[in-house]
Amino acid sequence: MATAKKAAKKSAAKKPAKKPAAKKPAAKKSAAKKAVPKKPAAKKAAKKSASKRKPNAAFMKAMTPSAVLANVIGSSPMPRTEVTKKIWDYIKKNKLQDSINRRLINADEKLRAVFGGKGKVSMFEMTKLVSNHLK
């Protein structure tokens, strides 16, 4: 008997789904629609970075490399940015970048003298060590 009551409750719980009400026909829009004047496009703020970026004077100052550093990049005075580029050219040419951790540089004999005797140096530490050899 209990199962019969449960079955009756289940069937009573299921009510037929209501059918959606028929949509009313859309009212016709008035033909005399007001013309909305277009707003003038807002002018974009002038970008300061649109002009070519000026390099920092401290980076562009010609620095003279020490004798140890001159063995790697040459002895002519050059800005710090050029010194870093030439060191990276030397590292890539001699395949001194670590194959597993690309942030490390394996020093050869010339670079070991620049790096203060260290065999492996991170690329971020490299610039610090190189700056000791610039006057």
pLDDT tens, residue order, the chain (135 aa):
566 655 555 555 555 666 666 666 665 555 556 666 666 665 555 555 567 888 788 778 999 999 999 999 999 999 999 999 999 999 999 999 999 999 999 999 999 999 999 999 999 999 999 999 999
C-alpha distances out from residue 129 to 13, 15, 113, Å: 81, 82, 10
> CB neighbours of 64 closer than 8 A, spacing ≥ 6?
75, 77, 134, 135
Phi and psi torsions of 127, nearest 5°: -65, -35
Residues β-bridged to residue 63: 78
Cα–Cα dist 30/106, whole Å: 80
Residue 102 is predicted with a pLDDT of: 94
Kind plus residue range of the DSSP H or E element containing 126:
helix 123-131
Residue 112 is predicted with a pLDDT of: 95
58-87 residue pLDDT tens: 778 999 999 999 999 999 999 999 999 999
The answer to whether 120 and 107 are in contact (CB under 8 A) is yes
Ordered DSSP codes for 63-111: BPBPHHHHHHH-SS-B-HHHHHHHHHHHHHHTT-B-SSSTTEEE--HHH
**pTM score of the predicted model:** 0.58
Cα–Cα dist 66/79, whole Å: 14
- Judged by DSSP in three states, 134 sits in strand
Residue 53 is predicted with a pLDDT of: 83
Q: What domains can be seen in the chain, in order of their start residue?
A: 59-131 (1.10.245.10)
